[in-house]
Amino acid sequence: MSNNTLKNSYESLPVESKLIFLAGIFDGEGSFGIWSKGVHRKKEFACTIEMTDRDTLQKFVDMFGGQMFPCKIRKPHHTPTWRWRQNGYRAFQIMDKMIDFMSIRRQEKYYVVKRDKIGGTSRYAHLQEASRDKDADGGRTNDARKKDGSR
């Protein structure tokens, strides 16, 4: 390969390797949680990444779908950024595919959000059933428990 020829070997990777690559980017740059899209709007689970590399975010769109859009430029000297976002049930499906390739810190947060924040009253309650572990403390400290030891 000459110095003038650029090569992008991402396209030739098997699907699982692409998934691992994207999980690594999400682990470092992405975020997930339960947010609303405005005042007095319903909160729902979402995963999102904001960065200046539009071509990298396009890989998320190609693999998972979702939306990619330009972000408001916060200050005149800032480089324009793009955001990829997926909401609701599809966001859970995407995170379930990537989470095993992410850091322990991200895994712990995800399983707490999925199990505790979604809860039995949500339309996503069926998603948490497989991850329920009666012996797990959900990442809570003893101070977060009620006096009778319940959660």
> All domains of the chain, ordered by start, with CATH?
13-128 (3.10.28.10)
Residue 114 banded pLDDT, cuts 50, 70, 90: confident
Task: At 117, give phi and psi (nearest 5°).
Answer: -75, -35
Over range 60-66, report the average pLDDT.
97
Beta bridge partners, 108, equal none
Question: What confidence category does residue 140 fall into, taking pLDDT thresholds of 50, 70 and 90?
Answer: very low
pTM for the structure as a whole? 0.72
Query: pLDDT by residue (tens digit) across 13-49?
Result: 999 999 999 999 999 999 999 888 788 888 889 999 9
Residue count (the chain): 151
Q: What whole-number distance in Å separates Cα of residue 83 and Cα of residue 96?
A: 20
Cβ distance 35 to 27 under 8 Å? no
> How many whole angstroms separate alpha carbon 30 and alpha carbon 92?
14
pLDDT at 4: 66
pLDDT of 35? 86
Structure letter (DSSP) for residue 38: S
Contact 46, 33 (CB under 8 A): yes
Amino acid letter at 78? H
Nearest to 48 by CA among 79, 15, 94, 10: 94
Query: What phi-psi label fits residue 85: left (phi over 0), alpha (psi between -120 and 50 degrees) or beta?
Result: beta
